[in-house]
Structure 1
Amino acid sequence: MNGNRFGRLFQVTTFGESHGEAMGCTVSGCPAGLELSADDIQEDLDRRKPGQSMITTSRGEPDAVTINSGVQDGYTTGTPIGMVIENKDARSGKYEPFITAPRPSHGDFTYSAKFGTRNWGGGGRSSARETVNWVAAGAIAKKLLALEGVELKAHVNQIGDVVAPEVSFEELLEHSEENDVRCAHPETADEMQDLIADYQDEGDSIGGSIYFEARGVPVGLGAPRFDSLSARLGQAMMAVPATTAFEFGLGTEAAEWSGKDRNDDWEFDEDGNPVPVENDHGGIQGGISSGEPIYGEVTLHAPTSIPTEQQTVDWETEEVVDDAQVIGRHDPVLPPRGVPVVEAMLALTLVDFMLLSGRINPDRVDGKPGEYDTDYHPSNPRNQ
């Protein structure tokens, strides 16, 4: 099975299954000289891990990461970074009724039809638990971007029919981690929490969306057509489990705008550089970053694992099953834990383009592209 690698220069290859021994990934292409520890990665993993609150699965996974290669004396060496996150609380017994009966709207049938086999415990490789690897790799990408002055953040802007008003980037940074829903508008977060609780009480689930934004992205990332920044972002976000839509800038609202209203006028900034007056294009024009903030939205459908009785079929007995119940520990809503996943995929996409464009030195991050300082590393004999 292919499709386990993301990126061109900054490449992430993942492994693991929901109820297997461990999850893990290898990050290739990270320059040498980046200060990095397990704590740097753990911070984002803790935001994604299960069991955080009453609106997440109660599966008790600490999601503790170990770095097995690519880091020495607290700095990256330029070699592949290997990371492992062990599964500590897998309980496959709940899934035995679905060995030969596909759960409604899961990947059970399509996976089995394609490969002739599957790991049925917790969804196996197709489980959203696999995103723990993406978040681990994304934490490294974020550190690289921060060195170049690029900052990014996401928050939950909609759950069901409850929609948060627009918030500033500063509000995103300040408030999105203050509540269980990860909504940067506190009053709306309370409404979202109540709505989620209502669906939980009914044995049901609900969908929502995540708004993301990146500041400090330089001009010139991307290319026309198939290597456009928007196309690659679309690939990254549509890979997030349960995603049904990705948009940037005005998104689907652009269908309601005339060309005159949507088109961004140009002016000169204080340094004499052309800049757009508005940013309805979402930081990307012609597939290339404009230097303005990149922003957009990812829509996630309701979790498909719910205890409410549903209909399926058993392909072994050839019987219709009218009372199928997915009994287990599942999230009633996905966006709150999806926020760090969306941030990770945004960071991985941007850092890959930064390396491709030469904005980040692919060999070492201590100097400018092409400049090498042999004294940067604490384990260098000169420094001992």
Structure 2
Amino acid sequence: MAGNSFGHLFRITTWGESHGPALGVTIDGCPPGIPLSPEDIQKDLERRRPGKQLTSPRREPDKVEILSGIFEGTTTGTPLSLVIFNRDIRSKDYSDLARLYRPGHADRTYEQKFGIRDWRGGGRSSARETAARVAAGAVARKFLQRYGIWVKAYTLALAGIHCRNFRWEDIDENPLYCPDAQCAIAMEERLKEIRTAGDSAGGIVEVCAKGCPPGLGEPVFDKLDARLAMALMSIGAVKGVEIGEGFAAADLLGSQNNDPVTPKGYASNHAGGILGGISTGLDIVLRVAVKPIPSISKTQQTVDKDGNPATIQIKGRHDVSAIPRIIPVCEAMVLLTLADFMMHPFPRNF
């Protein structure tokens, strides 16, 4: 299967399936001399790990092991290989799905493309694959710390409830990583109602990157915003990406949307830190639309492998929303993109 690698100079290849023995990632191009330990990676994996409040009850420790690319606690410049073993597999929960296609999932498209599919939790199309991305993103985070680049994602909307206030200090004080403490409470209550009803919910995640120097990005087809959009759209639950004002810019006048240039720099940041596909030096701000989890216990219409009409009621252990576990995944894809561009030669006027 092609399409399992991402990046040019800081390049990752993920492997493994939801119900296979393990999953992992190989990172090629990571510079030498970066202090790195399993604990550095584990911090980000812990935020993505299932089995916590408001998430799937699947109990995966998600303990990472570094198999190569490290000597005496420091990267060597050779390929890093990271592995995460699956410990809580219940493939029997999916046995009824061997002949049925789950609405909203990649079951049918995978089978139409490859002629075969792993029905045990979706196999390669499962969100479990993102654990490998988060592990790689943690390595990219360590690399970017050299340059003072910092990336943070948080929940702006969930289950139809939108943040009214924004406080950085609130983000890590609630399980939904919401910058509005009061809205976080309302979101939690709404998620409990939706879970009880056997349904699921979507939301909006914003990602902010601070400390990026001007000059990241390549014209014309390798623009920084194009690569960031690709990176975030590669996450299975993401159905839309906007940068800066995004779709709201369609309702603005040019005089409102332009960022005035002053002797001290830009007077505003409607562009979200990117102009002409190249970073401006201001904060890079992106938002992603996260669809509802398609695995729900409500009865749905589908067909079987022979094309006959059928109904399906999905069992097993599932999240009621991809949020909050998608938060570190979004961070990881932005971190990996920025790390890749920081490896490119460009005028470093900062």
Count of aligned residue pairs for this structure pair: 348
CA distance in 2, matches of 1:12, 1:176: 29
Q: Is the 8 A contact 2:215 2:346 kept in 1?
A: no
Say which of 182, 186, 193 aligns to 1:187: 182
Residue ranges of structure 2 left out of the alignment (5+ in a row): none
Aligned ranges for residues 284-303 of structure 1 at < 5 Å?
Answer: 284-303=274-293
The corresponding residue for 1:18 is 18
Say which of 308, 332, 336 aligns to 2:298: 308
Q: Is the 8 A contact 2:27 2:79 kept in 1?
A: yes
Q: Is the 8 A contact 2:165 2:179 kept in 1?
A: no
Q: Is the 8 A contact 2:216 2:346 kept in 1?
A: no
| C-alpha deviation, 1:109, in angstroms | 0.4
| C-alpha deviation, 1:358, in angstroms | 5.6
Q: 1:15 to 1:287 in 2, by over 3 A?
A: same
CA distance in 1, matches of 2:219, 2:125: 32
Matched, 1:327 2:315: yes
Classify the secondary structure of the residue corresponding to 2:121: helix
CA distance in 2, matches of 1:302, 1:337: 13
CA distance in 1, matches of 2:183, 2:153: 16
| C-alpha deviation, 1:48, in angstroms | 0.3
With normalisation by structure 2, the TM-score equals 0.97
| C-alpha deviation, 1:260, in angstroms | 1.0
CA distance in 1, matches of 2:289, 2:175: 19
Classify the secondary structure of the residue corresponding to 1:104: coil
The corresponding residue for 1:80 is 79
Larger Rg: 1
The corresponding residue for 2:343 is 355
Residue ranges of structure 1 left out of the alignment (5+ in a row): 270-274, 361-384
Deviations, residues 36-88 of structure 1 (Å, cap 9, x unaligned):
000000000000000121x1000000000000000011000000000000000
The corresponding residue for 1:380 is none
Deviations, residues 152-195 of structure 1 (Å, cap 9, x unaligned):
1010110122101352xxx33x3222111111211110011111
Q: Which amino acid aligns with 1:187?
A: Q
The corresponding residue for 2:51 is 51
The corresponding residue for 1:114 is 113
Q: Is the 8 A contact 1:164 1:188 kept in 2?
A: yes
Q: RMSD in angstroms over aligned alpha carbons?
A: 1.2
Classify the secondary structure of the residue corresponding to 2:92: helix
CA distance in 2, matches of 1:139, 1:310: 38
CA distance in 2, matches of 1:359, 1:7: 21
Classify the secondary structure of the residue corresponding to 2:122: helix
* % identity of equivalent residues: 45
Q: Is the 8 A contact 1:221 1:357 kept in 2?
A: no
Q: Is the 8 A contact 1:67 1:82 kept in 2?
A: yes
Say which of 220, 239, 247 aligns to 1:244: 239
Aligned ranges for residues 1-384 of structure 1 at < 5 Å?
Answer: 1-53=1-53, 55-165=54-164, 167=166, 171-172=167-168, 174-269=169-264, 275-316=265-306, 318-322=307-311, 324-357=312-345
Q: Is the 8 A contact 1:180 1:336 kept in 2?
A: yes
Classify the secondary structure of the residue corresponding to 1:280: coil
CA distance in 2, matches of 1:143, 1:102: 41
Q: Is the 8 A contact 2:239 2:291 kept in 1?
A: yes
CA distance in 2, matches of 1:259, 1:132: 42
Q: Is the 8 A contact 2:29 2:77 kept in 1?
A: yes
4+ runs deviating over 2 angstroms = 357-360
With normalisation by structure 1, the TM-score equals 0.89
CA distance in 2, matches of 1:325, 1:161: 25
CA distance in 1, matches of 2:209, 2:228: 12
The corresponding residue for 1:377 is none
